[in-house]
């Protein structure tokens, strides 16, 4: 599945590397938003013993999000290769109990005003995230506007950690189960909320083995597909152990001849407790025709 490339040299190779599987790639900016309400389920008793047991806290981050239920999210992904950077941003909501979400993904534009799908004024892509699947609407590349494209994320080399231009929020949290070499960097403030910052390296294989059954297939695929199993990260947890922000740095080879591609993916979570409804498209709404090659 390919979207049309733009630019040339290393930047075009970076786009092709990600577009070959889905949309393209993603960075992190400074995001606003409210601090989100309390969990309201007694999880406030889980005071963060920040410096004492960082591995335990990071390993439990995904479970704490499941307790919290839904949340609003903003995403950013930046791909760099050959001195060229491509950035994609997204915004939406995610239900950590059902591991389903809906996001609006905005593609970047080149100097000529064309986006990564090869068209000026291309509408934002709607993405639905579900266990083992990614659905995209307004996909471009010859797909009718009223149709969805469905991708089996367990069959992707990256497990949809970068393919859709958005790292699945649950997968981002589950990656922290593979954390090692963690350093506690102290307290800071994020969107008006006190958070504790951790730096470390996550091992894709270890994270996949410890992940929930719904996430295990995609993370196992990523462990096999990336050129490096080690994923450096920065994670920010609030006083209740909820993940508020995480930035991962992925590295892989675009092809046998191309340069190594670096992808920085950032996820911001806020507005916890938000009811999230995601309705997957019917079979007759799924596009099964040929995707135009760029």
Enclosing domain of residue 187: 9-28+47-285
Question: Does 172 reside within a domain?
Answer: yes
Proportion of the chain above pLDDT 70, given as a percent: 73
Residue 65 falls inside a structural domain: yes
Antiparallel, parallel or unpaired: β 243-253 and 230-238: antiparallel
For residue 2, tell me if it sits in a domain.
no
pLDDT of amino acid 236: 97
For residue range 26-39, what is the model confidence (pLDDT) as tens digits? Answer: 333 333 334 444 44
What are the CB-based long-range contacts (under 8 Å, 24+) for 245-250?
A: 245/190, 245/195, 245/269, 246/172, 246/173, 246/176, 247/28, 248/161, 248/167, 248/172, 248/175, 248/202, 250/158, 250/161, 250/162, 250/226
Q: Is residue 33 part of a domain?
A: no
Task: Report, in angstroms and rounded to the nearest whole number, the Rg of the chain calculated over CA atoms.
Answer: 18
- Alpha carbon of residue 164 to chain centroid: 8
Q: Is residue 291 part of a domain?
A: no
Which band of pLDDT confidence, cut at 50, 70 and 90, is reported for residue 79? confident
Residue 40: inside a domain, yes or no?
A: no
Residue 214 has φ and ψ, to the nearest 5°, of -70, -30
* Residue 190 counted as domain residue: yes
Name the band, by pLDDT with cuts 50, 70 and 90, for residue 10.
very low
Residue from 92, 237, 235 nearest 172 by CA? 235
pTM for this one?
A: 0.80
Q: Is 85 inside a domain boundary?
A: yes
CATH for 85: 2.50.20.20
Only one residue has tokens 């005071």, namely 47
Domain count within the chain: 1
């Amino acid at each position: 599945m390919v979207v049309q490339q733009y630019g040339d040299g290393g930047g075009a190779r970076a786009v092709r590397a990600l577009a070959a599987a889905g949309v393209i790639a993603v960075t992190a900016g400074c995001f606003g938003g409210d601090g989100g309400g309390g969990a309201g389920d007694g999880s406030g008793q889980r005071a963060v013993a920040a410096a004492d047991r960082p591995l335990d806290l990071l390993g439990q981050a995904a479970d704490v999000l499941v307790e919290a239920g839904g949340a609003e999210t903003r995403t950013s992904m930046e791909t760099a290769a050959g001195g060229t950077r491509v950035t994609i941003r997204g915004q939406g909501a995610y239900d950590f109990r059902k591991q389903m979400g809906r996001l609006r993904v905005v593609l970047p534009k080149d100097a000529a005003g064309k986006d990564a799908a090869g068209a000026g004024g291309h509408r934002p892509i709607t993405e639905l995230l579900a266990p083992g699947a990614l659905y995209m609407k307004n996909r471009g590349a010859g797909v009718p506007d009223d149709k969805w494209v469905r991708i089996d994320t367990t069959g992707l080399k990256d497990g949809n950690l970068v393919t859709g231009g958005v790292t699945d929020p649950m997968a981002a949290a589950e990656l922290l189960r593979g954390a090692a070499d963690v350093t506690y960097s102290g307290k800071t403030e994020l969107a008006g909320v006190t958070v504790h910052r951790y730096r470390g390296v996550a091992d894709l294989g270890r994270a996949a083995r410890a992940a929930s059954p719904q996430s295990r297939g995609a993370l196992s695929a990523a462990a096999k597909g990336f050129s490096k199993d080690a994923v450096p990260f920065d994670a920010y947890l609030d006083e209740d152990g909820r993940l508020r922000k995480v930035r991962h740095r992925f590295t892989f080879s675009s092809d046998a001849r191309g340069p190594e591609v670096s992808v920085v993916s950032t996820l911001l979570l806020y507005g916890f407790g938000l009811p999230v409804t995601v309705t997957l498209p019917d079979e007759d709404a799924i596009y099964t025709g040929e995707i135009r090659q760029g």
